[in-house]
Amino acid sequence: MEQAAPSLILSDLDGTLLTSGDRVSPRTRSAIARAVSAGALFMPASGRPARWMLPVIEQLGIAPVCVCANGAVVYDAATDRVTYAAALAPTVLRQVAREILRATAGPLSRRGLGQVSFAVERTGDSAFDRASELFAVEPAYPHAWDTDEHAVETRDELLSKPAVKLLVRHEHMDSADLFDLVNPVVDPADAHVTWSFHGGLLEVNVPGVTKLSGVAHALGDASGADVGADAVPAIDPSSVVAFGDMPNDLAMLRWAGRGFAMGNAVPEVVAAADHHTASNDEDGVAAVLERWF
């Protein structure tokens, strides 16, 4: 017998809800609309900053509460308000950057590669705050995506202000290999390291911050609850369905009563998930939601 319809739907965006063309397909949009009309809560959970949620929200046709920056930020699209942000302090940013540089210097030198470089995501109050005040990079930082909406700062300047995310970049490495070098030397009491893009990019957040903790804050903010950075939502996981494809989705997928790995998910996500669906380009999210809606 099919389980009851979920009351909460959590979905990653890139590689999950969105097609390779960065679109919400008509089938997926319709499935989400039916679910919301039936009373389910739909919540995007992404590594994206709040300002990058807007093109997706426009396609969905709804204004949900969004988990951003891997759980470090919660953004209410209906009111255009950042309701929660967990930022790394400058002392921690400097310490983590030093540890990463020490850990990578030898291996990268032996491979004939240059140093890693850094960027930071900061947060304001609105998704319409100036991007150049929120995203800053070192002069030599090789962008993973085309953008001219950023500030260029020295490393000292970059690490001198709180940031919700520290980005570690090396364009000539795979992210999984870079993670293997960096993660062992970053104390989990100082910061949490993950990745969601293959092309040599790591994402560093406050300890305990994951998309799952972001969901707890998103739900707790609505109820006025005071939750910690490593919080778990105070709802029955059996009423939750979640979708993802990358390591930054793992906490959310493992917790949800029905956690689905996409057909295009990386092997560690496929192995960790109890359920599987089609790829993002094959409407994998819609295929599952259509069981109930």
Rounded to the nearest integer, the mean pLDDT of the chain is: 93
Distant-in-sequence, close-in-space partners of 223: CB < 8 Å, separation ≥ 6 = none
Residue 224 has pLDDT above 60, yes or no: no
> How many angstroms separate the CA atoms of 179 and 240, rounded?
30
pLDDT of residue 81: 96
What are the pLDDT digits (tens) for 124-138?
999 999 888 899 999
Residue 236 has pLDDT above 50, yes or no: yes
What are the pLDDT digits (tens) for 25-39?
999 999 999 999 999
SS (H, E, C) the chain: CCCCCCCEEEECHHHHHCCCCCCCCHHHHHHHHHHHHCCCEEEEECCCCHHHCHHHHHHHCCCCEEEEHHHCEEEECCCCEEEEECCECHHHHHHHHHHHHHHHHHHHHHCCCCCCEEEEECCCCCCCCCHHHCEEECCCCCCCCCCCCCEECCHHHHCCCCECEEEEECCCCCHHHHHHHHHHHCCCCCCEEECCCCCCEEEEECCCCCHHHHHHHHHHHHHCCCCCCCCCCCCCHHHEEEEECCHHHHHHHHHCCEEEECCCCCHHHHHHCCEECCCHHHCHHHHHHCCCC
Residue 230 has pLDDT above 70, yes or no: no
Its pTM stands at: 0.92
Report residue 233's pLDDT band, with 50, 70 and 90 as the boundaries.
Answer: confident
What are the pLDDT digits (tens) for 64-76?
999 999 999 999 9
Report residue 2's pLDDT band, with 50, 70 and 90 as the boundaries.
Answer: low
What architecture is domain 90-205? 2-Layer Sandwich (3.30)
CATH code given to domain 8-85+209-289: 3.40.50.1000
What are the pLDDT digits (tens) for 187-209?
999 999 999 989 999 999 999 99
Residue 221 has pLDDT above 60, yes or no: no
Q: Is 292 exposed, middle or buried (0-12, 13-18, 19+ CB in 10 A)?
A: middle
pLDDT (average), residues 171-198:
94
Residue 228 has pLDDT above 70, yes or no: no
pLDDT of residue 148: 72
Domain limits of the chain? 8-85+209-289, 90-205
